[in-house]
Structure 1
Amino acid sequence: MQAAVFYGNEPRLVVEDIPVPVPQRGEVLLRVTACGVCHTDLHVLRSEVKFPAPAVLGHEVSGVVEQVGDGVGNVAVGDSVVCSFIMPCGDCRHCVRGAEDLCEKFFAHNRLNGTLYDGTTRLARADGTPLAMYSMGGLAEYCVVPASDVFPVPAEVGLEAVSILGCSSFTALGALHTAGLGLGDRIAVVAAGGVGSSIVQFAAAAGVSQIIAVDISDEKLSAVAKLGATHTVNSRTEDAAARVRELTGGYGVEVAFEALGSPATFATALDILDDGGRAVVVGIAPAGSTGTIDLARLVRRKLQVLGSYGAKARTDMPALLRMVAANTVRPQEVITRRYPLAEADEAYQALARGEIVGRAIIEMS
């Protein structure tokens, strides 16, 4: 099969032929249909997030079940499925209490070492050199996924579009859960990329009355206005905090979602909060990044800063699929570019240049 390989010595992907992986007990082999182009992969490519190399990245995947390992009973060969980037083990202390977004085995084995939960990878180069897996390693024609992380896609739903459910939409839904969003809340979404676009769409679907999108790109702001943002603010050309307060009667928002992962956007999210407001930090920042906060304001104004990494795969992925089937959310409207696997590197270079509005996907066929 072909796979886009990251070698770790420069921020680029090389497409090459590697052996098709074999699923082990409790695992599924997928023929990948599409894989989302995510900013988190870009952090790995830029060595801003520590990860072993050589590796196959890609963690927003949809596909068709090609083979199942022993003990798999939830899907069968030929099923169309989608996966989440957090692959719950199901039996660590966090998974058993329902906090799959904190799965210990996922973080200890996959995010630190690039393996599945027996401590080994399923991928290797033609010469036998092991290839680390970022989640399932979806930038390839085939990938292996734990059976706990494959979810059947309704027949009426397009398989390519739902690939972005696994991170962009999954992360957005988790952020809304973390926020404890109320319909009367005024919200702002700081950074209108793939995750920010999904937050806007979900909040609009939930009936939130005021959704303010903040970004430095008029093109991205125009796109999220079509997804449900009631107001847009270009923070490059105007004072974002002053404008948000103007739009909210002088107060600020109850919830600000930070969807990029930078000290500047974190500061903006805090600046636009009303008293008692909640800043939900969603964007993945380069390792070692820090943000600052006025501790006196934090205490006196009763602000909250909440981290949100993702949702809970076994309950939230089926819920997302139901929402897509009901046309409540429309992932196809967030996807603005499509690339073949041969152009995977160009897709990430375009992402690095800030050219991708919403989400791009890599299509395998």
Structure 2
Amino acid sequence: MERAFWFSGSGDGELRPVTLPPVGDDEVLVRTLYTGVSRGTETLVFRGEVPPSQRAAMRAPFQEGDFPGPVKYGYLNVGVVERGPENLVGQVVFCLYPHQTRYVVPASAVTPVPSEVPPERAILAGTIETAVNAVWDASPKIGDRIAVVGAGMVGSSVAKLLAGFPGARVQLIDVDPERAKVAEALGVDFSTPEDALGDCDLVVHASASEAGLARSLELLAPEGEVIELSWYGDRRISVPLGENFHSRRLAIRSSQVGMVSPSRRLNRTYADRLALAWRLLADPGFEVLVSGECQFRELPDVLPRLAANEPGTLCLRVTYQMEDTR
């Protein structure tokens, strides 16, 4: 009997038994090797904080149950194909599937992981895809002064991508001084909010905090822009649009991975964006984003600590090597 993790929607979760359907034509049976916990989104789901207006938009492709819960939720799954089309059997694949030991999906729902990307790093594909889309939305220019506020999974990934932009001054900003080690590993300058460099042409905000958004606006030069990557769930936050917001002609624009950035939508597909994420993930520097690991059977005990903002964890990697249920 296979097992899956279900979110209760009220701050806890459990492993439930799963009976798999027969593998049909053009379907695959996948044995999970690793899943990743997307800390921002999945902790909101864990706490039952998906607002009613966003429950349809935030459904994962293979979600079971409805918000606020119980739901089987997740979308960072790396496994090996055990049954299916001959060209896929034995391949390591990525799928937008929740935390489950084995599963059956259409063959079109899995993407082979390139040999240059280790399976244990491949759980970051969705994060890098989000970062790529954010950079496309931001459209930085040569020599721009850029800040990224929030050194979580997505913010750190965005900072690493922007650091390679010609002539750019890029600074990763976080309230936790320990995130300086992450920035150093990524090759990015670091600062706490109070010491951050201002006069920025562009600020990418990814801290999901009211204070972080306010500081992002303070760091802008006149006519600068904040790209808002944070998702606040059902929380209402205050945005400081008074004082000099209008006189300085500042702007705030949202970025979300559900659609390809308008700047690339005419000539890039979702598959193109994911293919670019794979090429970028060949860089071992991204491995620093995986800062915690647990066994699948430990997930009901570990997720409450993660949802309580346990310090230090960026991406939690869940391993399934010891979870053979046959």
TM tier, smaller: 0.7 to 0.9
Mapped partners of 1:295, 1:147: distance in 2? 52
Is 2:232 the counterpart of 1:272?
no
Q: Verify the 8 A CA contact 1:335 1:359 in the aligned structure 2.
A: yes
Mapped partners of 1:276, 1:25: distance in 2? 56
Which residue in the other structure is 2:254 paired with? Answer: 307
Is 2:3 the counterpart of 1:2?
yes
- Aligned partner of residue 284 in structure 1, secondary structure: coil
Which residue in the other structure is 1:203 paired with? Answer: 162
C-alpha spacing 1:228/1:289, structure 2 compared with 1 (3 Å): farther
- The one-character-per-residue Cα deviations of 1:315-347 (angstroms, maximum 9, x if unpaired) are 11111112233x3x6332211211110111333
- Spell out structure 1 runs of 4+ moving beyond 3 A: 21-29, 143-149, 205-209, 295-300
Which residue in the other structure is 1:36 paired with? Answer: 36
Mapped partners of 1:144, 1:293: distance in 2? 48
Q: Verify the 8 A CA contact 1:200 1:228 in the aligned structure 2.
A: no
Q: Verify the 8 A CA contact 1:223 1:357 in the aligned structure 2.
A: no
- The one-character-per-residue Cα deviations of 1:168-216 (angstroms, maximum 9, x if unpaired) are 2221111111101224112111111111121122222445632222212
One-letter amino acid of the counterpart of residue 123, structure 2: S
- The one-character-per-residue Cα deviations of 1:240-297 (angstroms, maximum 9, x if unpaired) are 3xx33xx35xxx2111111132322221211211112111111211214234242674
Which residue in the other structure is 1:140 paired with? Answer: 100
- Unmatched segments (≥5 aa) in structure 1: 86-135
Which residue in the other structure is 1:319 paired with? Answer: 276
C-alpha spacing 1:24/1:283, structure 2 compared with 1 (3 Å): farther
Mapped partners of 1:271, 1:259: distance in 2? 15
Mapped partners of 1:180, 1:76: distance in 2? 37
Which residue in the other structure is 2:302 paired with? Answer: 347
Which residue in the other structure is 1:290 paired with? Answer: 237
Mapped partners of 1:268, 1:23: distance in 2? 52
Q: Verify the 8 A CA contact 1:195 1:259 in the aligned structure 2.
A: yes
Equivalent in 212, 220, 227 of residue 179 of structure 2: 220
Which residue in the other structure is 1:263 paired with? Answer: 210
Deviation at 1:151, TM superposition (A): 2.2
C-alpha spacing 1:186/1:288, structure 2 compared with 1 (3 Å): same
Paired-residue identity, %: 27
Is 2:68 the counterpart of 1:49?
no
One-letter amino acid of the counterpart of residue 263, structure 1: E
Deviation at 1:144, TM superposition (A): 4.8
Deviation at 1:49, TM superposition (A): 1.0
Deviation at 1:22, TM superposition (A): 5.5
Which residue in the other structure is 2:144 paired with? Answer: 185
Is 2:118 the counterpart of 1:163?
no
Which residue in the other structure is 1:59 paired with? Answer: 75
One-letter amino acid of the counterpart of residue 94, structure 2: V
Deviation at 1:43, TM superposition (A): 0.2
C-alpha spacing 1:57/1:299, structure 2 compared with 1 (3 Å): same
Deviation at 1:226, TM superposition (A): 2.2
Q: Verify the 8 A CA contact 2:203 2:216 in the aligned structure 1.
A: yes
Mapped partners of 2:229, 2:34: distance in 1? 24
Q: What does residue range 330-341 of structure 1 map to in structure 2 within 5 Å?
A: 330-341=285-296
One-letter amino acid of the counterpart of residue 75, structure 2: H
Mapped partners of 2:146, 2:109: distance in 1? 31
- Aligned partner of residue 178 in structure 1, secondary structure: helix
Which residue in the other structure is 2:317 paired with? Answer: 361
Q: Verify the 8 A CA contact 1:263 1:289 in the aligned structure 2.
A: no
C-alpha spacing 1:185/1:26, structure 2 compared with 1 (3 Å): farther
Mapped partners of 1:302, 1:147: distance in 2? 49
- Unmatched segments (≥5 aa) in structure 2: 52-66, 261-269, 322-326
Root-mean-square deviation over aligned CA pairs: 2.6
Q: Verify the 8 A CA contact 2:7 2:45 in the aligned structure 1.
A: no
One-letter amino acid of the counterpart of residue 159, structure 1: P
